[in-house]
Amino acid sequence: MTVRVGVLALQGDTREHLAALREAGADALSVRRVAEMKSVDALVIPGGESTAISHLLREFELLEPLRARLADGMPAYGSCAGMILLADEILDAGAEGRRAEPLHGIDMTVRRNAFGRQVDSFEEDIAFQGLDGHVHAVFIRAPWVERVGPEVEVLARAGGHPVAVRQGRMLATAFHPEVTGDRRVHKLFVDSLG
């Protein structure tokens, strides 16, 4: 049976994640409404701008339903801004009224824009536990993980900081594998759903 994976399509790399998930063997579709979110087996929260995505989650009345689905065990994968939102705690979350909202999916503390501003974006080949060879990681105004809970497994590091983590069937990366053509991270996520 093919798993149905939604990609939160409010802002960010939606098209790239949809293509990567399909190549990894999933039935992938865009999610913009509660009914669409209820129809999927798992969800990808793409990169983009975490405060903008949080604002749109509130505007589209998706924030609390998404928190409820995650609390009920819906698997999720977040890249960059998605990693930030899947955290229990967000450092430098933004100004009051325009803050990144934690979804409480992974027991971790994440710092927004930890590697610096847009001009500090970079690419690096990193070792990724469970995958053969290195992963070419694209970091764009990327976060890093400052604290992980006891159930969280660190899968990759850059600059000494955790940049890929897994807790059960939750996965998060500080980088954007959807833009490189390497589908191994998406395949790792899809395979965990079977």
Question: What count of other Cβ atoms lies within 10 Å of the Cβ of residue 92?
Answer: 13
The single-letter DSSP state of residue 69 is H
Question: Is there a binding annotation on residue 48?
Answer: yes
Question: Is there a binding annotation on residue 50?
Answer: yes
Alpha-carbon distance of 188 to 20, in angstroms, equals 12
Q: Which residues are marked as active site? A: 80, 176, 178
Transcribe 39-53 into DSSP letters. T-SEEEE-SS-HHHH
Q: What are the φ/ψ torsions at residue 17 (nearest 5 degrees)?
A: -65, -40
Alpha-carbon distance of 64 to 87, in angstroms, equals 15
Transcribe 100-143 into DSSP letters. PPP---EEEEEETTTT-SGGG-EEEEEE-TTSSSEEEEEESS--
Question: Is there a binding annotation on residue 141?
Answer: yes
Question: Is there a binding annotation on residue 124?
Answer: no
Binding residues for L-glutamine: 48-50, 112, 140-141
Binding residues: 48-50, 112, 140-141
